[in-house]
Amino acid sequence: MKTIDRYIGVSVLVQTSMVILVLVGMSAFGEFATELDHIGSGKYTLFSAIQYTLMLTPRFAYEMFPLSALLGCMLGLGGLASNSELTVIRASGVSIQRIVLSVLKVGILMMVFVGVLGEFVAPALEKSASIERAKHLSRGVSLNTGDGLWARDENSFLNFKTLLPEGVARDVTLYHFDEGHRLQEIVSANRAIYTKGQWHLQQVNKTTLSAEGIVTSQHKDVFWESTLEPQVMNLAAVKTGRLSAWDLYQFVSYLKANGLESKTYEVSFWGRVLMPFLIIGMVLLAIPFVFGSLRTTSVGQRLIFGVMLGIGFYLFNAIFSRVGVVYDLSPLLSAMLPTVIVFGLWMVMMRRVY
Give the integer Cα–Cα distance in Å for 76 and 241.
32
For the chain, domains (ranges, CATH) are 2-137+255-353 (no CATH), 155-226 (2.60.450.10)
pLDDT in tens, 168-200: 788 899 998 988 888 999 999 998 888 777 888
Residue 15 has pLDDT above 90, yes or no: yes
pLDDT in tens, 92-132: 888 889 999 999 999 999 999 999 999 999 988 988 888 78
Band of residue 145 on the pLDDT scale cut at 50, 70, 90: very low
Give the residue-averaged pLDDT of 289-305.
68
> In whole numbers, what is the pLDDT of the chain averaged over residues?
85
* Short-list 121, 116, 124, 55, CA closest to 275: 116
Band of residue 36 on the pLDDT scale cut at 50, 70, 90: very high
- Is the CB of residue 259 less than 8 Å from the CB of residue 236? no
CB burial string 41-58: b at 16+ within 10 A, e below: ebebeeebbebbbebbbb
**Would you state the pLDDT for residue 165?**
55
Give the residue-averaged pLDDT of 61-87.
89
**Global pTM value:** 0.78
Q: Tell me which amino acid residue 160 is.
A: F
Q: Which residue has the higher pLDDT, 72 or 291?
A: 72
Task: Work out the number of other CB atoms within 10 angstroms of the CB of residue 195.
Answer: 11
* Short-list 78, 7, 94, CA closest to 298: 78
pLDDT in tens, 189-241: 998 888 777 888 999 999 999 888 899 999 999 988 876 666 555 555 556 66
**Would you state the pLDDT for residue 147?**
65
**Would you state the pLDDT for residue 301?**
74
Contacts 24+ apart (CB under 8 A), 306-313: 306/67, 306/70, 306/71, 306/74, 306/75, 307/67, 307/71, 309/70, 309/285, 310/66, 310/67, 310/70, 310/71, 310/282, 311/67, 313/66, 313/67, 313/338, 313/342
pLDDT in tens, 133-143: 877 876 445 55
DSSP string for 256-278 = HHTT---HHHHHHHHHHHHHHHH
* Short-list 110, 106, 73, CA closest to 275: 110
pLDDT in tens, 273-284: 999 999 999 999
Q: How far is CA 79 from CA 74, 153, 271, 288, 292, in A?
A: 8, 61, 32, 14, 14
Give the integer Cα–Cα distance in Å for 76 and 325.
38
Residues above pLDDT 90, as percent of the chain: 44
- Is the CB of residue 279 less than 8 Å from the CB of residue 110? yes
